[in-house]
Structure 1
Amino acid sequence: MTTPTAFADYELKERPQDPVSAMAFSPNHAPERAGQLLVASWDRLVRLYDLSYAQDSQGVRLVQVFEHEAAVLDVCWINDTLAASGGLDRRVRLLNLETGQTNILGKHGNAVSRIRFCPQTGLLISASWDRTIQIWDPLSSPPRHLRTLSVPDKVLAMDLSPPFASSPAETRPVSASANGARVEVDRTPRLVVGMTGRGVWIYELDKLRQTLDRAQAGQEVKESDWEPEQKRESSLKFMIRDIRCMPAGDGYATSSVEGRIAVEFFDPTPEAQAKKYAFKCHRQAVDGIDTVYPVNAMAFHPVHGTFASIGGDAICSIWDAAAKKRIRQYPRLPSPLSAGCFSSDGMRLAIASGAENIEDTRHPGPGAGEVGEVGRGGEGNVRIHIKAAWEDCKPKVRPNPAS
């Protein structure tokens, strides 16, 4: 049996025609599961690929295809055989990964922008442009809706902490708040929600689960019990594009349309908050003009604690959050990047190129594309790139000042 580490970078042959909105590898890091990849696209489909033992594109299997009524904006795993998705048709769907069947769990009043499943609490959380977060129990028989929470603005980004249910055997994630040291993971399940008004709300899901259980049992529940533990304002001045939580469970990163990333920590004490920072990225000088690109997505490595930034400049960079510096920049891909994710064993990085950009619509024709030699995205230009990630994403060894 081939090992998942022994492969060169490759592209998936059977790929979406329209831009990829979200990707997610299986949370199960067993060798036969770690390479299973869900891909959601604007072509109204969710695809399930199996890359587990692929050394090149020939070894990849397209296992299932799930059709929706409109563009799919997000997808997440629930367990080895069940996933959930949502999109512009406002429906929250459960996807049976064995049979290929789809069931509508419920709906929002507007597009479902983000969806996540928390294995510690058994809660499926969907967020929408309708300014609500809906809570579901997807594993009950039958699956059921538990609660609707109101938020002040459209939800643009959302993630769970810790983002990985567990790490590969005998490894512990690196902490961004402990100078790159490997630490015990803070397993407190949290939900981080980013909105159009730059608000960032943080819920502790254990407490929310307890409140839901009390309400289901007919016990008294105060309105304050449904409130988030923290309400913050984004450190970024412009609209949020993505939120991703750190594998050590100690914080999260946000990205914006204006080529910036902020690294934040959950601990509200002044000492912890003094460690947060923000930096510029995904910008270049074109004809003497500083051109800024959006950071469309991010992804944290489950063990090394480094993270990838996925840019509208067709560049993917790897950053060391503890050292506050870039450790790798991949060669420019064919067109703007829209999504990316690491496998739960840390061996693979999937990157989707082919996002549309402003120049595609303003200046159609053979010369279309953003300035700075960024190629044309959109229909027919989508590619999914698979990279061997373990060595590329290792933090640089920092010398001991005492030596």
Structure 2
Amino acid sequence: MPVRPEFEVTPPPSDPVSALAFHPGPSTSDKVQQLLIASWDKTVRLVDLSEKALQGSQVTPTLQTFYHDAAVLDVCWLSDTLAASGGLDRRVRLLNLETGQVNIIGKHNAPVCRLRFSPRTGLLISGSWDKTIGIWDPLAEHPTLLRKINVPDKVLALDVSPPWPNVSEVQMVDTTPRLIVAMAGRTLAVFNLDKLGEALRNAKAGGTDLGDDDVGIQPEYTRESSLKFMLRDVKCMPNGDGFACSSVEGRVAVEFFDNSDAGAARKYAFKCHRRAVDSIDTVYPVNCLTFHPIHGTFASLGGDAMCCIWDAVAKKRIIQYARLPSPLSTGACSADGQLLAIASGAENIEDARHPGPGAGEVGDIGPGGEGNVRIHIKSVFEDCRPKVKAS
């Protein structure tokens, strides 16, 4: 397949992008290059990035636009025609991608920062700054909240494993449906979604209420992240073996679901997204991670406006792309592995402290925020392929 030239989503959102989510597959689906865009401009947009839809046009086809009451912090797919969104207004919404209808199914007591759907269990998980995760049954005749589970601290990120259950090219190590929750106190909690879903649905069917200490809703284990500063993102490996998490201090940790001593011995962390500015080592946050669904390599997106591709097995960087115009906020890879969407235009402290024509991050990175947002689309199938050493 010929490599498509890099292009941008036009027009982009007016405010920074908080989340990008490609259709989860299978890779043969005609929707696999449809992209959901959540933004601080209070919208979720569904766009089609396929060559057939673009047909050489300079304007990206927008299939639906959903307007919210406040900034949207995350969005995820539930099916070909259904998505979920959440944000600063605390509501969890279901978005009908065919009709444009919106259904508010519940809310948290603080902003909803993360949403993930587990196709293997049919559960939608919401993470909130109110120190709870919500477990929802979104595909029931009457979508409902099954349970809110208290966690030790504010939720910053979460993900489900395996993230791409429809990608047949991946050789699975572990198919157990899991949820990984990253919190403000650097605590990581891992839940078995099969056991959690069974316990909650049985309790609902029997009209009983599970106590907070009931074993059915407890995590398999909790542990402290190997990163020393506040976590920014966590993403699961396509083969179900583990996950990677990033921090504000320019580091990424690769860890594994095996909680034994042998599993702990495999984990490692490394420095990234740092550069010398006026002979000073300047550290930037790693705002987002995203795995390639087929090759298992992953991209890190930083406040230094750089995107790097890493091989978690070989423990090395494969490629570093040219610097983009302004700090990167988020990114996502399509389920067929062809496209990587990267959002630049994240705001940074220099935008607020030093306004005017010279505003920008340390190191002459362009300013983000309103009017500076761009979504870059790269063809990455070969770029993300692990490098084979010559014998």
**Structure 2 residue identity aligned to 1:363:** H
Among candidates 311, 314, 319, match of residue 302 of structure 2: 311
Residue in structure 2 matched with residue 394 of structure 1 by the alignment: 385
Give the superposition deviation at 1:219.
7.8
Give the superposition deviation at 1:240.
0.3
SS in 2 for 1:238: coil
Aligned alpha-carbon RMSD (Å)? 1.4
2:363 is aligned with 1:366: no
Residue in structure 2 matched with residue 43 of structure 1 by the alignment: 41
Among candidates 279, 289, 293, match of residue 270 of structure 2: 279
Residue in structure 2 matched with residue 10 of structure 1 by the alignment: 7
CA contact (8 A) 1:11 1:57 kept: no
Residue in structure 2 matched with residue 131 of structure 1 by the alignment: 131
For 1:3-402, list aligned pairs within 5 A.
6-28=3-25, 29-53=27-51, 54=54, 58=58, 60-168=60-168, 171-172=169-170, 183-218=171-206, 223-400=214-391
TM-score by length of 1: 0.93
Determine what percentage of the aligned residue pairs are the same residue. 64
Give the superposition deviation at 1:224.
2.2
TM-score by length of 2: 0.96
Which is further off, 21-30 or 70-79? 21-30
Give the superposition deviation at 1:145.
1.1
Q: Show structure 1 runs of 5+ residues with no match.
A: 173-182
- In 1, Cα distance between equivalents of 2:240 and 2:163: 8
Give the superposition deviation at 1:31.
4.6
Q: How many residues align?
A: 385
- In 2, Cα distance between equivalents of 1:27 and 1:225: 29
- In 2, Cα distance between equivalents of 1:33 and 1:214: 35
**Structure 2 residue identity aligned to 1:33:** K
- In 1, Cα distance between equivalents of 2:159 and 2:297: 17
- In 1, Cα distance between equivalents of 2:116 and 2:172: 23
SS in 1 for 2:206: coil
- In 1, Cα distance between equivalents of 2:55 and 2:284: 33
Which is further off, 59-68 or 345-354? 59-68
- In 1, Cα distance between equivalents of 2:234 and 2:90: 21
Give the superposition deviation at 1:6.
4.4
CA contact (8 A) 1:76 1:83 kept: yes
**Structure 2 residue identity aligned to 1:288:** S
Give the superposition deviation at 1:230.
1.1
**Structure 2 residue identity aligned to 1:186:** D
Q: Show structure 2 runs of 5+ residues with no match.
A: none
Kindly provide the CA deviation profile for residues 279-307 of structure 1, in whole angstroms up to 9, marking residues without a partner as x: 00000000010000000001000011100
CA contact (8 A) 1:7 1:55 kept: no
Give the superposition deviation at 1:60.
3.1
**Structure 1 residue identity aligned to 2:290:** A
CA contact (8 A) 2:304 2:365 kept: yes
SS in 2 for 1:213: helix
Question: Structure 1 pair 219/90, CA: closer, same or farther in 2 (3 Å)?
Answer: closer
Give the superposition deviation at 1:61.
1.0
